[in-house]
Structure 1
Amino acid sequence: MVNKIFLIMAVIGVPLSVIGSLLHFPTIIMFVIYCLTIIALAGFMGRATESLAVVAGERIGGLLNATFGNAVELIISIFSLKAGLVGVVLASLTGSVLGNLLLVAGLSFFVGGVRYKRQKFNVYDARHNSGLLVFAVIVAFVIPEVFTQGMGEGHKLALSSGISIILILLYLAALFFKLVTHRGVYQSTSEGASEHEEVAEWGMGKALAVLLIATLAVAYVSEKLVHTFAEVAETFGWSELFIGVIIVAIVGNAAEHASAIIMAYKNKMGVAVEIAVGSTLQVAMFVAPVLVLISLFFEKSMPLVFTMPELISMVTAVLLTIAIANDGETNWFEGATLLAAYMIMGIGFYLL
């Protein structure tokens, strides 16, 4: 039933998004249409991810979902950088980290925990990801803020470019470690037992095709949605920082949000965590550095320097997530704790 609703919403929403943008429908109406269309497309991405997780395994399924989901945000951010909106891009990167670690993981833990009292995932992956989170967010994001005090713009960009290259290389090394040299080495004894009994809804080829087409459609609709934010913000009294940290981040990662929650509801917590945490790592260690390097070719470059509220929020989110998820088990109360932290930060950014 839900799949049919998503199909109807997507079939109606995508053409309506194109027609509405060409005929200049009222902005508030288009804002609602764009949001509903992205939610519908996210449903298809969730089904494709589930099929890939059955066929290719939890790690690869979660990685593919995070990659396709972050491709949308990367596209939106490149358009924003081209327009010179460096502050919005940095805020949206902050929002992605907070959204994935607190909102996505929180909702996944909460929804899954309501249905199952205890949900487990690979504790070795949790500890591996914890170290990467500390490095990517606390080391690579805080260090530039400390060292760039009093620096000129040229030195700031040089430091940011150097850090970006190191982050990208380490991220590629982490993928090689998890998927090649140490694949299956740190595998739980119970992990993978249900995957062999399950039949994928779609084959590998169809799932990848659906994921690709849905991602392209989401990218188009999301890019149009960005242009509605100014008027919507003025109507509702939202600030530019709030739009970047909360609104752009939620919309840009809508597909991942839906997929992770669906996986958690079906007790596939390994995939849900891989999407939430894996997406955060990809944003911090790949998307952000790539945007820094791409910005060098634009009129206004983007140093990897965040504001103090953004930095403190990201560091807090990382430490809280590590404290909660490092034991490889979750429940609904831990999810509620993450959601509460997200709400507190959301209020802070709204009033800032």
Structure 2
Amino acid sequence: MVNKIFTIAAFIGVPLSIIGSLLHWSSILMFVIYCLTIISLSSFMGRATESLAIVAGPRIGGLLNATFGNAVELIIAIFALREGLTEVVLASLTGSVLGNLLLVAGLSFFIGGLKYKRQQFNVYDARHNSGLLIFAVIVAFVIPEVFTMNMNAEKTLSLSIGIAIILIVLYLAALFFKLVTHRGVYQVEKNGEHGHAHEETPEWSVKKSITILAIATLAVAYVSENLVHTFEVVAESFGWSELFIGIIIVAIVGNAAEHASAVVMAYKNKMDIAVEIAIGSTLQIAMFVAPLLVLVSLLFPSGMSLVFTLPELISMVTAVLLMVSISNDGETNWFEGATLLAAYAIMGIGFYLL
């Protein structure tokens, strides 16, 4: 039923997006249409990557889901950079970290915990990811903030470029570690998950899934370019700051595919995939997407430095420490999910009132 609704929304939303942009409809109306269209297209991306996950396994499946889910946000961010909206881009990166660690993981743990009293996932992956989270957010984002206090804009950008290159190299090394050199080394058998995983059949074939992913990504690219042009009018109309639009609105719309897929996986007790989507997506944002945007920004008149505001930094550090504390034992329940959701709600209220 839900899939049918998203399918109808996509087939209606894409033509409306094209017609509305050509006829210059109200920016507020188009903002709503663009957001709903991107969310509906993201559902296709989520279903396609879920089909690929069944064939490829939880690690690669979770990585694919996170990658194509983040592709939406990456596309939106590149168009925003072209328009000089660097604050919106930085805020959307913050929103992705908070959204994945607190909202996506929180919903997954909560919904899954309502069905199962105790859910388990690979504790070795959790501990490995915890170290990377601390490095990516605290070391790579917070430490540079200290050094840039006495730097001019040129030196700050140079530092950001250096950090971006290091982050990308380490992220690629982390993938090589998990998928090649140490693939299958740290495996944990859990009751109730591996026993029936082989019986599940994918919704779509590999060829059809890849085709749908490609078409949906192209459609999202077109809609996202137009969405960016509505930000200023919407912000003025509703009294929202660029910070709030980036952290809450863009992050939720851009990560819609991951939100849905992670919750569905948790409800099916496939916590390895759910956790890989939530935490793996965060690592990809912090260690690959954000650095890549720094390098891409060099193609535009105003370069983007990895310098966040104090509320953004404190929020990201808090989210990382909370997730590390909750996930390091390799199991979760609905109350831990509620804790993550409560933290996200508190931060959302704070950013709205800024």
Taking structure 1 as the reference length, the TM-score comes to 0.96
- In the TM superposition, residue 228 of structure 1 has moved relative to its aligned partner by 2.2
Query: 3-state DSSP class of the match of 2:48?
Result: helix
Alignment of 1:181-192 (within 5 A): 181-190=181-190, 192=194
Alignment of 1:130-279 (within 5 A): 130-190=130-190, 192-279=194-281
- In the TM superposition, residue 189 of structure 1 has moved relative to its aligned partner by 2.1
Render the CA deviation track for 1:229-286: whole Å, top value 9, x for unaligned.
3222223221111111111111111111121112112222111111111110001000
Q: Aligned partner of 1:323: which letter? A: S
The whole-number CA distance in structure 2 between the counterparts of 1:339 and 1:136 is 22
| Greater CA drift, 280-289 or 329-338 | 329-338
> Is the alpha carbon distance of 1:204 and 1:193 closer, same or farther for their aligned partners in structure 2, counting shifts above 3 Å?
farther
| Greater CA drift, 336-345 or 30-39 | 30-39
Query: 3-state DSSP class of the match of 1:306?
Result: coil
> Is the alpha carbon distance of 1:258 and 1:215 closer, same or farther for their aligned partners in structure 2, counting shifts above 3 Å?
farther
- In the TM superposition, residue 33 of structure 1 has moved relative to its aligned partner by 2.1
- In the TM superposition, residue 31 of structure 1 has moved relative to its aligned partner by 2.4
The whole-number CA distance in structure 2 between the counterparts of 1:44 and 1:154 is 42
- In the TM superposition, residue 197 of structure 1 has moved relative to its aligned partner by 1.8
The whole-number CA distance in structure 1 between the counterparts of 2:164 and 2:200 is 40
1:52 aligns with 2:52: yes
The whole-number CA distance in structure 2 between the counterparts of 1:15 and 1:258 is 24
For residue 347 of structure 1, what is the aligned residue in structure 2? 349
Alignment of 1:312-327 (within 5 A): 312-327=314-329
**Unpaired runs of at least 5, structure 2:** none
- In the TM superposition, residue 154 of structure 1 has moved relative to its aligned partner by 2.1
For residue 298 of structure 1, what is the aligned residue in structure 2? 300
4+ residue runs over 4 A deviation: none
- In the TM superposition, residue 170 of structure 1 has moved relative to its aligned partner by 0.3
- In the TM superposition, residue 88 of structure 1 has moved relative to its aligned partner by 1.3
Number of aligned residues: 352
**Unpaired runs of at least 5, structure 1:** none
2:50–2:65 contact (8 Å) kept in structure 1: no
The whole-number CA distance in structure 1 between the counterparts of 2:224 and 2:335 is 33
Render the CA deviation track for 1:149-173: whole Å, top value 9, x for unaligned.
1112222122111111110000000
Query: 3-state DSSP class of the match of 1:165?
Result: helix
- In the TM superposition, residue 133 of structure 1 has moved relative to its aligned partner by 0.1
- In the TM superposition, residue 193 of structure 1 has moved relative to its aligned partner by 3.5
1:42–1:258 contact (8 Å) kept in structure 2: no
1:222–1:251 contact (8 Å) kept in structure 2: no
1:42–1:259 contact (8 Å) kept in structure 2: no
Taking only the aligned residue pairs, the percentage that are identical comes to: 78
1:40 aligns with 2:40: yes
The whole-number CA distance in structure 2 between the counterparts of 1:110 and 1:222 is 31
1:222–1:252 contact (8 Å) kept in structure 2: no
Q: Aligned partner of 2:264: which letter? A: I
1:45–1:214 contact (8 Å) kept in structure 2: yes
| Greater CA drift, 46-55 or 125-134 | 46-55
The whole-number CA distance in structure 1 between the counterparts of 2:235 and 2:149 is 32
| Greater CA drift, 327-336 or 28-37 | 28-37
1:281 aligns with 2:297: no
